[in-house]
Amino acid sequence: MELKTNAALIIIDQQKGILHPKLGRRNNPQAEERILELLGHWRRTGRPVIHVQHLSRSEDSVFWPQQSGVEFQERFQPMTGEQVIQKHVPDAFCSTGLEARLREAGIDQLIIVGVATHNSVESTARTAGNLGFEAWVAEDACFTFDKADFFGNAHSAEEVHAMSLGNLQGEYATVISTAKILQAD
């Protein structure tokens, strides 16, 4: 595996609202540190960084535009030259122009990180794979929350995370660690 010189790092929903206690128990407490490792490497090597910001249509969402939860966390503030994609649904490709921007820039390799693994990360990675992009999901640079399944059975964030990554691996994306991504450079 080789990390291309124009591989785009896509950071999904690293906004203040994702830290709200009402979202419940999460897994992977080191995810933000892994994202920052990747972000630092991308910035040092001059690769493209795309920040995805969720603007919810639901007033009770932590990402409702009329409150501070919608803002990027300080440590993930976009720098000059880094793109910001705003979305209203989990999939960062849906009605955002992301695909056109990537194609126009000749980018075909995407490294996807952020939250939530079972929601925006999985949705975005599935579309990336379906559109023919080489998608990598950094398993230790994303996280999710405890969640009940359709039948009401409770699942830990670790189980939800693992199942989501399992859904992606091989068919839509390559699931890989941050360390292996950095070693591929």
pLDDT tens-digit series, residues 135-146: 999 999 999 999
Tell me the average pLDDT across 44-53.
98
Alpha-carbon distance values, 78 to 43, 85, 133, 154 (Å): 11, 11, 23, 36
The whole-number pLDDT of residue 97 equals 97
* pLDDT band, very low/low/confident/very high, at 165 (cuts 50, 70, 90): very high
The whole-number pLDDT of residue 132 equals 98
| Residue position matching structure tokens 């979305």 | 87
* pLDDT band, very low/low/confident/very high, at 134 (cuts 50, 70, 90): very high
- Is the previous residue joined to 116 through a cis bond, with omega within 30 degrees of 0? yes
- Measured in residues, the chain has a length of 185
pLDDT over 90 at 176, yes or no: yes
pLDDT over 90 at 96, yes or no: yes
Is the CB of residue 52 less than 8 Å from the CB of residue 78?
A: no
Is the CB of residue 135 less than 8 Å from the CB of residue 99?
A: no
Residues 102 and 112: their CA atoms lie apart, in Å, by 14
Beta strands in 8-97 (DSSP E): 8-12, 49-54, 83-87
pLDDT over 90 at 133, yes or no: yes
Q: What percent of the chain has pLDDT over 90?
A: 96
Residues 152 and 36: their CA atoms lie apart, in Å, by 35
pLDDT over 90 at 8, yes or no: yes
Q: Whole-prediction pTM value? A: 0.97
| Residue position matching structure tokens 């950094």 | 138
Tell me the average pLDDT across 4-31.
97
Q: Which long-range CB contacts under 8 A does 155-163 form with residues at least 24 apart? A: 156/25, 156/27, 157/25, 157/26, 157/27, 157/28, 158/27, 160/27, 160/117, 160/118, 161/27, 161/28, 161/117, 161/118, 163/118
Beta strands in the chain (DSSP E): 8-12, 49-54, 83-87, 109-115, 134-143, 147-148, 154-155, 174-176
The whole-number pLDDT of residue 1 equals 84
pLDDT over 90 at 71, yes or no: yes
pLDDT tens digits, one per residue of 98-128: 999 999 999 999 999 999 999 999 999 999 9
